[in-house]
């Protein structure tokens, strides 16, 4: 049998046979097509490939034929790797060696060699699929993003196993741990293992610096604690997927943790990759994922979901939640709503009472700012809309800072700056305005008495974004709802606030009472 073709996509794109480089055509779409076929390793209909790679060409079928001709010339010199049976196209995975598959195999191996671990760690130190991005190819971009996320999710296990291997020197272990910490700055495991290794080597001062920097980044409540088993699999590694709403809008969702499901409704604003390890939400999200399969999603118009959408409205927000739940096949689960996500949660629980076992509403409201606020407050919100239209996308954070300070009035400058930048990266100026207008028109007050689901309402006593009276209105009108006021000014309760621990304790108590099986997922 001929030697298998080697295709590399992670560090740099290349094709080799017997060590000799095979030249590729200078067409980004053609090379991206090769990467897609090689990674998926399965047949794809020609129509699908035309839609994925050539939606903006006058002759998609002709463009695909041209690309396949160029790929045959490069790939099929020693064996028929590229095959076109009937109306399908595939690259036979058995006839090639692919670095992406090698990385996954080493990750999954029961006892990989240190050499393999070092090789794969080096590969995972690079940004995968560089140069394979395509403009105006949304479906392909979502696939590429998912593949990158999958490779990044393999880093922790690879690095952990490598630095604890018997034949890896202490010097190399420290070197790789520092690299891991640089690659994943919000990782909990990298600084913990690095601090532990430095302490074992008698380098207490350096270990103290690692712990200090970790606390500065993650907040005063973050503490580096040793884990019993350094090779214990990390549960809190999220996986990201995509599904489509009925109007064709692509919605990104994430799952993380073990145990029974807990679904969080989208709020202002979300980005599955950025907020998971953020200094704003990470404490809450990681705590919730410890006992549940924690499900989040980016609603239309922001984050990893489609931005260019025809409809940003309350009914569309509700459909986004329904789309994710149906796609994942969830049958019964507690629902967590934050801010305007509370209104979406409430209407969903009324439409689907058989699915929602309990409901937790934090900082929520039943009537949007055009409906439920005073004339003076409405005038202020209209002024903010004007500022958003003209200043959201600029490099000057002053416009976005208006939001940041009302969400977290007591946050330190670093977290305020992070949230300023986060908002800019999470949605467009146009969508930021559309979101605010949609939130202003929400009015579900008439639905509150229809809620059948056990409900916990949590609200900061001095919330500067959504007044406490809004939370009281929810609790007063939802049958048998519990109300807990939190001693804070924040709309987003931060992990180093005393109110945060009170909030988390109340959530745990409520779920244990109304969803007893919720504690069984903990391991």
CATH number of the domain within which 197 lies: 1.25.40
- Is there a contact between 89 and 37 (Cβ–Cβ < 8 Å)? yes
- Would 83 be classed as within a structural domain? yes
Q: Are 453 and 346 part of one and the same domain?
A: yes
Do 459 and 494 sit in the same domain of this protein? yes
381 part of a folded domain: no
User: Do 280 and 165 share a structural domain?
Assistant: no
Count how many domains the chain has: 3
Write phi, then psi, for 367 (nearest 5 degrees).
-130, 130
| Pick from 314, 313, 265, 263: nearest CA to 293 | 263
> Would the pTM of this model clear 0.75, i.e. be above it?
no
In a domain, 131, yes or no: no
Going from the C-alpha of 106 to that of each of 47, 430, 473, the distances in angstroms are 35, 45, 55
Same domain as 275, residue 201: no
Q: Is residue 448 within 8 Å of 349, Cβ to Cβ?
A: no
User: How far, in Å, are 197, 343, 375, 378, 381 from residue 385 at the CA level?
Assistant: 51, 21, 15, 11, 6
One domain, residues 321 and 460? yes
Domain that holds residue 472: 239-374+443-521
Q: How far is CA 275 from CA 150, 419, 491, in A?
A: 17, 10, 16
Distance CA 121, CA 436 (A): 44
In a domain, 311, yes or no: yes
Q: What is the CATH number of the domain that holds 34?
A: 1.10.10.10
Cα angle for residues 247, 251, 253 (degrees, 5° grid): 155
Per-residue pLDDT of the chain (523 residues; tens, 9 = 90+): 457 899 999 988 999 998 899 999 989 999 999 999 999 988 999 999 999 999 888 899 999 999 999 999 999 988 899 999 989 999 998 899 999 999 989 888 888 888 899 999 999 988 888 888 887 777 888 888 888 888 888 888 888 888 888 788 888 888 888 888 888 776 777 888 888 888 888 888 888 887 777 676 655 545 555 443 433 333 456 888 999 999 999 999 999 988 899 999 999 889 998 888 788 998 899 889 988 999 999 999 999 999 999 999 999 999 999 999 999 999 999 999 999 999 999 999 999 999 999 999 999 999 998 886 677 777 777 777 776 676 665 555 555 566 677 788 888 877 888 887 788 788 888 898 899 899 999 999 999 999 999 999 999 999 988 999 999 999 999 999 999 999 999 999 988 889 999 999 999 999 998 876 544 433 3
Shared-domain flag, residues 264 and 352: yes
CATH number at residue 363: 3.40.50.1820
């Amino acid at each position: 049998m001929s030697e298998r073709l080697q295709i590399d996509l992670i560090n740099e794109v290349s094709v080799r046979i017997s060590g000799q480089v095979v030249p590729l055509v200078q067409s980004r779409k053609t090379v991206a097509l090769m990467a897609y076929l090689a990674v998926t390793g399965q047949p794809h209909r020609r129509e699908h490939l035309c839609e994925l790679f050539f939606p903006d060409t006058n002759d998609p079928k002709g463009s695909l034929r041209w690309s396949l001709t160029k790929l045959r010339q490069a790939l099929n010199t020693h064996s028929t790797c590229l095959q076109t049976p009937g109306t399908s196209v595939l690259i036979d995975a058995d006839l090639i060696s692919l670095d992406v598959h090698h990385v996954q195999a080493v990750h999954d191996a029961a006892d990989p060699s240190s050499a393999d671990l070092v090789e794969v760690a080096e590969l995972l130190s690079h940004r995968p699929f560089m140069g394979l991005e395509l403009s105006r190819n949304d479906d392909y971009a979502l696939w590429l993003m998912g593949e990158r996320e999958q490779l990044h999710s393999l880093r922790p296990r690879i690095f952990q196993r490598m630095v604890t291997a018997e034949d890896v020197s202490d010097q190399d272990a420290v070197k790789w741990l520092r690299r891991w910490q640089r690659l994943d700055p919000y990782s909990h495991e990298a600084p913990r293992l690095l601090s532990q290794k430095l302490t074992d080597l008698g380098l207490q001062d350096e270990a103290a610096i690692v712990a200090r920097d970790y606390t500065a980044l993650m907040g005063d409540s973050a503490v580096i604690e040793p884990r019993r088993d350094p090779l214990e699999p990390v549960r809190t590694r999220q996986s990201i997927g995509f599904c489509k709403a009925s109007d064709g809008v692509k919605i990104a969702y994430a799952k993380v943790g073990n145990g029974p499901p807990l679904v969080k409704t989208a709020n202002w604003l979300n980005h599955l990759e950025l907020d998971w390890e953020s200094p704003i939400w990470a404490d809450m999200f990681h705590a919730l994922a410890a006992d549940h399969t924690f499900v989040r999603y980016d609603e239309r118009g922001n984050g990893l979901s489609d931005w260019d959408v025809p409809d940003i409205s309350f009914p569309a927000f509700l459909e986004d939640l329904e789309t994710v739940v149906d796609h994942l096949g969830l049958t019964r689960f507690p629902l967590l709503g934050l801010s305007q996500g509370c209104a979406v949660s409430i209407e969903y629980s009324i439409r689907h009472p058989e699915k929602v076992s309990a409901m937790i509403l934090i900082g929520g409201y039943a009537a949007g700012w055009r409906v439920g606020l005073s004339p003076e407050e409405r005038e202020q919100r209209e002024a903010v809309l004007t500022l958003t239209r003209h200043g959201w996308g600029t490099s000057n954070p002053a416009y976005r800072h208006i939001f940041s300070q009302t969400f977290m009035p007591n946050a330190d400058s670093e977290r305020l700056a992070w949230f300023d930048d986060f908002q800019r990266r999470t949605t467009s100026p146009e969508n930021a305005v559309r979101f605010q207008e949609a939130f202003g028109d929400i009015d579900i007050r008439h639905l509150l008495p229809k809620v059948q689901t056990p409900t916990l309402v949590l609200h900061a006593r001095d919330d500067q974004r959504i007044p406490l009276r809004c939370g009281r209105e929810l609790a007063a009108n939802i049958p048998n709802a519990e109300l807990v006021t939190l001693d804070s000014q924040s709309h987003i309760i931060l992990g180093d606030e005393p109110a945060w621990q009170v909030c988390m304790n109340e959530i745990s108590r409520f779920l244990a009472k109304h969803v007893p099986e919720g504690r069984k997922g903990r391991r």
